[in-house]
Structure 1
């Protein structure tokens, strides 16, 4: 049985990669993308909802019922950002969105993009890692069927997509070397996308999905 999925962050590198994979999977029947602007993709399985305020999805909640999975790929970089602002745009926004979504989709699997090095104790010295850790911890408490927090590291881009970060364009030539020498620290964006989709369909024994788990789930 094919599932119905929601994707956020489709104008970013990870979200675009997940959308690309979802549209090509026969086990996903329909996809709704929620964004502040269009993702620029047209497909028979795809519907877009343009919504400015992710802190309050109440006005569109009736369009978000009956879904099996959410791939939450929205996020901001912490570079140059003070902790209160990063907290608001990472923790507060994500939890507000997820709480509303869980209220109408109790049978949903919620997949969150966190990051390698996230601090589950919430007490470490690294600001972004503490905030991401609290976000993970509190997402797990929500009444979804399942919550999976993905912690990717280096992600080799999917060829042909338009939102690849410049960082990856400049060092992509190192990928074969990194994959050979550091296989536990490197994935492709396609592997991450497949892992998220597979976790939402098959389930997984862990709620914190490290790189080694991503590689297992992607198969």
Structure 2
């Protein structure tokens, strides 16, 4: 199978890339990235496509992806890493909402009429019914989930969209990806420090990268049909962290 991956140099993306590289039935991985991806070096089935502008997907690029079977969109940014004056609008919304929606449309058009599965990495705290005090990440990721679902419902659409909401992403026991993703600092660093506590008292909210990467890869390889069972919401197309852990056998 031919899978597409974005965000391969990040923490979640590194976990996904390792899973794709070690899955025999994945024969080709097209990685869209702004910079080289060291973890992909030396792997014949991994093809890094340097792409700088995620608001624009030219026909030459999409031609390389026209036979893709699925995509994991792991690209993203913490709301804590954008300027405060932009946090409520442009930068965070563009990266979290605009980029994946534009690419999903372009991918659907280039692969049509063959169905293509699009897996969006959302996050716990995302909601499609935000309230007055819902943080910007919850509002924006929830909106992206909603809009991807709407896109897949358009007449004649070949897009099969599923969103997965990881909890506390934990690379502790995933030595194969060590050194390939940025170390957590600041507020994110504090989050990393509480992972041992979460693993002990609230494991349902922990997302081990090895298991998360495997589930995301398996979903991208699937037919994109609605899911069911504990931890599945949104018409069978939103998987919470509880659902991810269930699918991973945790």
Same fold (TM over 0.5): yes
Does 1:63 pair with 2:40?
no
Q: Deviations over 1:70-102 (max 9, x none)?
A: 010111121234222222222112211111111
Which structure ranks higher in relative contact order (CA pairs < 8 Å, sequence separation ≥ 6)? Answer: 2
Partner of 1:212: 242
Work out the CA distance in 1 between the residues paired with 2:160 and 2:128: 18
Deviation of residue 201 (structure 1)?
Answer: 2.9
Partner of 1:7: 5
Superposition pairs of residues 155-166 of structure 1, within 5 angstroms: 155-157=169-171, 158-159=174-175, 160-166=178-184
In the alignment, structure 2 segments of 5+ residues that lack a partner are 152-156, 229-235
Work out the CA distance in 2 between the residues paired with 1:4 and 1:132: 26
Work out the CA distance in 2 between the residues paired with 1:68 and 1:8: 15
Residue from 86, 93, 98 that aligns with 1:92: 98
Superposition pairs of residues 94-113 of structure 1, within 5 angstroms: 94-105=100-111, 106-113=114-121
Partner of 1:78: 79
Work out the CA distance in 2 between the residues paired with 1:196 and 1:144: 19
Superposition pairs of residues 112-123 of structure 1, within 5 angstroms: 112-123=120-131
Superposed CA RMSD in Å reads 2.1
Q: Report the 3-state secondary structure (helix = DSSP H, G, I; strand = E; otherwise coil) of the residue aligned with 1:147.
A: strand
Deviation of residue 12 (structure 1)?
Answer: 1.1
Are 2:3 and 2:220, in contact at CA under 8 Å, matched by a contact in 1? no
Are 1:199 and 1:217, in contact at CA under 8 Å, matched by a contact in 2? no
Partner of 2:137: 128
Are 2:168 and 2:195, in contact at CA under 8 Å, matched by a contact in 1? no
Are 1:195 and 1:214, in contact at CA under 8 Å, matched by a contact in 2? yes
Partner of 1:149: 163
Deviation of residue 180 (structure 1)?
Answer: 3.4
Superposition pairs of residues 31-50 of structure 1, within 5 angstroms: 31-40=29-38, 41-42=40-41, 43-50=43-50
> Taking structure 1 as the reference length, what is the TM-score of the superposition?
0.89
Work out the CA distance in 2 between the residues paired with 1:45 and 1:101: 20
Are 1:5 and 1:68, in contact at CA under 8 Å, matched by a contact in 2? yes
> Taking structure 2 as the reference length, what is the TM-score of the superposition?
0.79
Deviation of residue 109 (structure 1)?
Answer: 0.9
Are 1:198 and 1:217, in contact at CA under 8 Å, matched by a contact in 2? no
Could you say if the C-alpha distance between residues 209 and 92 of structure 1 is closer, same or farther in structure 2, counting changes exceeding 3 Å? Answer: same
